[in-house]
Amino acid sequence: MFEIVYAWLFWALVAVSVIVFIALLFVTAPYGKFGRTGWGPALNSTLAWVLMESAAVFTMPVMFLLSDRTGNAVSIAFLLLWESHYVYRTFIFPFRRTGHPRPMPVSVMGMALFFNVWNGFLNGAALFHLGPESGREIVESWMFWAGTGLFFCGMAINHQSDNILRRLRKDGQSGYRIPEGGLYRWVSMPAYLGEIIEWTGFALLTCSSAAVLFACFTAANLVPRAISSHKWYLQTFREYPQKRKAIIPFIL
């Protein structure tokens, strides 16, 4: 029964990923700089962010603790990598933002929360219940180390980009400015690129189909938003660097 539920949820998320990618090419999710009315009641942006992302923080450990692999070193490593991303994203990132972020629609928060539970279940099920128990052989493989390198490379890009944005505004300031430095030299949304690299690395190091699907969904969600953000920068700032791309240096 567990395997059947997993299979249904897996293929449903495949379909949702395709739908999300197509939809976001035409409709930009209404939060952040694209916040607007018409999406129902809204919450304080920081509170909404913590609520929706905390689902990812807690779902994966629950899946781990319900498994018979709590003593497996590789499984613990998988869990720690996952948590290293989401603990930062949930409990550090939102409180370091400057300015006055616009309220987030409860509908958007709810969809993100639902996805995080869904995705956490799939990845936890694949890594700790249904997939083969990982041992020394995976740690000795090139895929594990290449994936781990990609994961931390993406995380570094993500953190650097967040820090650059944070330093754009002094205390009490609001509004948007042109970010400079880091990968902003080449793309408008390096944090999104970093996140895609992170989860591509996670998929490679775990050799998990659920992690591959998560990396694909991340790209399906963030690439269209990066394109929209790039257009917004070009329209908002006359002096915006014309050679920058949206998310992939020199390409897109």
Q: pLDDT value at position 243? A: 92
In the numeric block, the tokens 């929706």 are attached to 52
> pLDDT digit string (tens) for 78-102?
999 999 999 999 999 998 887 677 8
Task: Please state, for a pLDDT cut of 90, what percent of the chain lies above it.
Answer: 72
Distance CA 190, CA 186 (A): 8
- The residues with which 43 forms a beta bridge, in sequence order, are 104
User: 137: Cβ–Cβ under 8 A, 6 or more apart, which residues?
Assistant: none
Average the pLDDT over each of 70-74, 81-85, 111-115, 207-211 and give the range with the smallest value. Answer: 70-74
Average the pLDDT over each of 45-49, 136-140, 173-177 and give the range with the smallest value. Answer: 173-177
- Can you give the pTM of this predicted structure? 0.93
* 8-state DSSP, 140: T
Q: pLDDT value at position 28? A: 85
Residue 133's pLDDT band, with cuts at 50, 70 and 90, is confident
* 8-state DSSP, 43: E
Range list of H helices, 104-208:
106-125, 136-139, 142-168, 190-206
Distance CA 189, CA 194 (A): 9
What is the distance, to the nearest Å, from the Cα of residue 87 to the centroid of all Cα atoms in its chain? 12
- Mean pLDDT score of the chain: 91
Residue 37's pLDDT band, with cuts at 50, 70 and 90, is confident
- Phi and psi at residue 195, to the nearest 5°: -65, -40
> Of 15, 156, 147, 161, which is closest to residue 85 (Cα–Cα)?
156
94 and 46 Cβ atoms separated by less than 8 Å:
yes
Is residue 172 pLDDT above 70, yes or no?
no
Distances (CA, A) of 99 to 94, 168, 217: 11, 10, 29
Q: Which two tokens stand for residue 167?
A: 């330093």
> Of 20, 38, 66, which is closest to residue 221 (Cα–Cα)?
20
